[in-house]
Chain A
Amino acid sequence: MTKRAARLFFFISTLLSALIFTVLTIDSHRQFPKLTNAADIDERVIAGKHVWHRENCTNCHTLLGEGAYYAPDLTKITQQRGAPYLREFLKDPSRFYSEARDGRLMPTLDLSDQDIDDLIAFLGWVGRIDTQGWPPRPILVRGSAIPGVPAALGVPAPQASSPDPVEQGRAVYHATPPGCAACHSIVPGVNIVGPTLAGMPATAAVRLKSPDYRGKATDVEGYIRESILNPNAHVLTGPTYSTDGRSLMPADYGQTLKPEQVDQIVAYLLTLR
């Protein structure tokens, strides 16, 4: 090969690559609106994006798997934790985490209520971007394997295709959304954000008999269903369960879950004896 030929190789290959890249970029722009639900980008999402940048979030966290690796990925965080919890968390992260227990703690940011709502709107929009099935399994902030209880080990993967409603319920429980497993463990004594659901039927029976019970359920199945659809019917006072008598669990599962999915989760929780 002569130097001339080498130069020609350089120019042609570079131009060709740049050309293909440009064409694909134009085509990507054609598809961005659909893939990212661009119609949902309102002024709150944009304001939330500004908060995201202003607070330099990306230099600890990843979003869409991009950023720094010092703090959890937040792509699906609104689906896992829900707005009521995130609002309280962003006001004071040290209420939910400690360096002593978790190794890391997020500093308390100086955010207004408006900032927090905008940020949650932004993260909610990001969570609905078509990420081609990523992450293949939920990325949890905390949970699943608390020391001594590796819940994820030795438990077969949930089978969503099974005809058994209990098995289907287990699949829904571990999926994101609805992200039940991101806050509730099924291991006795392990409370992630919400209380453990181990022994749920027995717990429900005790609460139903309690004089403090304010809900409308009359039996165990009804109690579990009510706690999913209306978390504020009977609020538990735990360190991370509620604020001012309001539960930190999302209250909109009645809209976001199909009725049969609720039935399946209830069926599954009834088996956690």
Chain B
Amino acid sequence: MRYRSQRVAYPYFVVAMLLFGLQMVFGLLAAAKYLGPDPLLNVLPFDVVKAIHTNLLLVWLLTGFMGAAYYVVPEESRVELYSVRLAYIQLAIWTAMGVTAVVGYVFRWTAGNKLLEQPFPLKVVIVIVMLMFLYNIGMTIRASGRLTTTEGVLVAGLACSALLYLPALFEFDNYTVSVFYRWWTVHLWVEGVWEMIQGALLAYLLIRLSGVDREVLEKWLYVIVGLTFISGILGTAHHYYWIGVPRYWLPIGGFFSALEPFVFFAMAMYAYYAMRRSGLTHPNRMALHWTIGSAVFSALGAGLLGLAHTWPAVNKWTHGTLITPMHGHMAFFGAYVMIVLGMISYALPGLTGRGEESRETSAGFWAFWLQVGGMFGMTMAFAAAGITQTYLERILSIGYLETQLKLQVHFLMLVATGAVFVVGVALYLWDFFFLAGRPVEAAAARAGAAPAGSTAG
């Protein structure tokens, strides 16, 4: 950490981690409800728990992205942040919005639109917060006049996220049309501009962690982002199967989403290449784990498991079954959770003014492997449940309820492996809050001399 104002990233990470912890509570609750019976049926039914689980994920990831951007941008542009005060105000409003949304859902204040459940006033707040963020970042870059490719891609990804949230503000009387535009936000976020953010953070971390030439990595970043949009924009079509849109979206969805794995394999190759060149010598081994983990896990979860049910002839049978959360859980974890945890792990020594080796805690490594193992197990449980459901309910036309009863053993696996994952998260939080230390006033000065700063170039 070279610039005092980078420290504003820390409270962002704190909020992100607290919400991550809360997300786990609701995730476990939802999994337990699959097993049933549900003693909370009339207090906290599944729909509320599920909405909170997914909304907390989106909010804490965005909090992490914004914190990461506040850490990366001053360093890349070589200037203090335009306004630290604004960043704090923004975080306060953002957190208040998130908490209000969660409490609102419990009391059934919801827009009832999958992943975009935020009631309209809160949607407006989200837009305002995004604008505050972009203004702050924009003014910082303007003040320095220096914009690297890495931060350019990161900021463009966040700016496009704000832009693509706008369709969510509109309501359509025609349900098909409203589903059509809901995907402009949801799909183009997670399989478009968020991949820009992931790619940029990956590039930033690889440059810092491997010391490979920036020019080379940034060149390939352009290629990765280019591939992302070739496959991602027209790949939106794989959400346009069977919902009342023209038939030509079927072959388009099949073809372009079949290209999506290339993006993730390119990212994995990218990380592999960088690490081979440097020989994994960076002392912050925790950050290395999460960074490489993100590249590998997103290739599996988003790339391979997405491809598993994206072809129309397959999707015809699997559409709307537990195959979707199989892909969804591993994809979100690999692509976005891991990259944010990588970014936090990387930034912590600088923020707290401790040496890189301070991150060598066994809690930190257990957190990594328990999360990886737990998520792998959950994915397997969802896969077994999803395949069985597809066969019994969709192919044999056996009733939904009888089929779900036959999936109990897989739900048991889901709860068990989910619990392993949650222990991993708890250890990460323990490490973050109690072992990593707190940011200190002198941190900037001390970290300036630390090896991370000097290899950064």
Q: For A146, what are the chain B residues with a Cβ–Cβ distance below 8 Å?
A: 402
6 contacts between A and B (CB under 8 A): A25-B180, A56-B108, A56-B110, A59-B46, A132-B247, A145-B396
Contact A144 B322 (CB under 8 A): no
- Name the one of B232, B319, B405 contacting A134, with C-beta atoms under 8 angstroms: B319
Besides A31-B246, A140-B399, 15 other A-B contacts (C-beta < 8 A): A6-B223, A10-B229, A13-B230, A41-B174, A68-B47, A104-B38, A129-B175, A131-B242, A131-B243, A135-B242, A135-B316, A140-B397, A141-B399, A141-B401, A146-B402
Q: Which residue of B lies closest to A145 (CB)?
A: B398
A212 beta carbon closer than 8 Å to chain B: no
CA distance A82 to B234 in the complex (A): 38
Counting from the closest, the 4 A-B pairs by CB-CB distance are A65-B320, A53-B112, A59-B47, A134-B242
Segment touching B, from A32-40, A213-221, A241-249, A258-266: A32-40
CA distance A135 to B174 in the complex (A): 21
Contact A129 B176 (CB under 8 A): yes
CA distance A103 to B402 in the complex (A): 9
Contact B397 A137 (CB under 8 A): yes
Q: Which of B249-293 contact A (CB under 8 A)?
A: 249-250, 252
Contact A28 B180 (CB under 8 A): yes
Assuming the contacts A69-B325, A152-B396, A152-B397, asked whether A6 and B220 have C-beta atoms less than 8 A apart, the reply is yes
Contact A104 B113 (CB under 8 A): no
Contact A65 B244 (CB under 8 A): no
Assuming the contacts A59-B47, A69-B322, A144-B397, asked whether A21 and B113 have C-beta atoms less than 8 A apart, the reply is no
A91 beta carbon closer than 8 Å to chain B: no
B123 beta carbon closer than 8 Å to chain A: no
A206 beta carbon closer than 8 Å to chain B: no
Q: Which of B375-429 contact A (CB under 8 A)?
A: 392-402, 404-405, 408
Q: Which of A199-250 contact B (CB under 8 A)?
A: none
Contact B316 A134 (CB under 8 A): yes
Contact B229 A35 (CB under 8 A): no
Q: How far is the CB of A130 from chain B (nearest CB, A)?
A: 6
B87 beta carbon closer than 8 Å to chain A: no
Q: Which residue of A lies closest to B250 (CB)?
A: A132
Contact B399 A144 (CB under 8 A): yes
Contact B117 A129 (CB under 8 A): no
Q: Which residue of A lies closest to B256 (CB)?
A: A17
Contact A62 B51 (CB under 8 A): no
Q: For A9, what are the chain B residues with a Cβ–Cβ distance below 8 Å?
A: 222-223, 226
Contact A129 B114 (CB under 8 A): no
A273 beta carbon closer than 8 Å to chain B: no
Contact A52 B112 (CB under 8 A): yes
Q: How far is the CB of B197 from chain A (nearest CB, A)?
A: 15
Q: For A144, what are the chain B residues with a Cβ–Cβ distance below 8 Å?
A: 396-399, 402
- Name the one of A17, A41, A58, A143 contacting B173, with C-beta atoms under 8 angstroms: A41
Q: How far is the CB of B37 from chain A (nearest CB, A)?
A: 4
Q: Which residue of B lies closest to A30 (CB)?
A: B246
Q: Which of A1-45 contact B (CB under 8 A)?
A: 1-3, 6-7, 9-10, 13-14, 17-18, 20-21, 24-25, 27-29, 31-32, 35-36, 38, 41, 45
A49 beta carbon closer than 8 Å to chain B: yes
Q: Which of A52, A63, A134 has most B Cβ within 10 Å? A: A134
CA distance A153 to B395 in the complex (A): 11
CA distance A234 to B227 in the complex (A): 66
Q: How far is the CB of B122 from chain A (nearest CB, A)?
A: 15
Q: Which of B48, B234, B400 has most A Cβ within 10 Å? A: B400
Assuming the contacts A35-B244, A65-B319, A65-B320, asked whether A72 and B400 have C-beta atoms less than 8 A apart, the reply is yes
Q: For A108, what are the chain B residues with a Cβ–Cβ distance below 8 Å?
A: 42
**Chain B contact patch, size range:** 35 or more
CA distance A56 to B222 in the complex (A): 40
A165 beta carbon closer than 8 Å to chain B: no
Chain A residues packing against B (C-beta within 8 Å) = 1-3, 6-7, 9-10, 13-14, 17-18, 20-21, 24-25, 27-29, 31-32, 35-36, 38, 41, 45-46, 49, 52-60, 62-73, 97, 99-100, 102-105, 107-108, 122, 125-126, 129-147, 150, 152-153, 192
Contact with A along B45-68 (1 / 0, CB 8 A): 111101100000000000000000
CA distance A48 to B114 in the complex (A): 17
- Name the one of A18, A21, A35, A104 contacting B401, with C-beta atoms under 8 angstroms: A104
CA distance A2 to B216 in the complex (A): 9
B450 beta carbon closer than 8 Å to chain A: no
Q: For B48, what are the chain A residues with a Cβ–Cβ distance below 8 Å?
A: 56, 59
Q: For A38, what are the chain B residues with a Cβ–Cβ distance below 8 Å?
A: 174
Contact with A along B189-233 (1 / 0, CB 8 A): 000000000000000000000000001001110110111011011
- Name the one of B37, B179, B222 contacting A10, with C-beta atoms under 8 angstroms: B222
Contact A107 B320 (CB under 8 A): no
Q: How far is the CB of B329 from chain A (nearest CB, A)?
A: 12
Q: Which residue of A lies closest to B33 (CB)?
A: A70
Q: Which of B161-203 contact A (CB under 8 A)?
A: 173-177, 179-180
Contact A99 B36 (CB under 8 A): yes
Contact B117 A56 (CB under 8 A): yes
CA distance A150 to B117 in the complex (A): 39
Contact A142 B401 (CB under 8 A): yes
Q: For B174, what are the chain A residues with a Cβ–Cβ distance below 8 Å?
A: 32, 36, 38, 41
CA distance A105 to B41 in the complex (A): 8
Q: Which residue of B lies closest to A134 (CB)?
A: B242
B321 beta carbon closer than 8 Å to chain A: yes
B317 beta carbon closer than 8 Å to chain A: yes
Contact B223 A10 (CB under 8 A): yes
CA distance A153 to B149 in the complex (A): 59
Q: For A53, what are the chain B residues with a Cβ–Cβ distance below 8 Å?
A: 110-113
Q: Which of B317-350 contact A (CB under 8 A)?
A: 317, 319-322, 324-325
Q: For B3, what are the chain A residues with a Cβ–Cβ distance below 8 Å?
A: none
Contact B229 A14 (CB under 8 A): yes
B248 beta carbon closer than 8 Å to chain A: yes
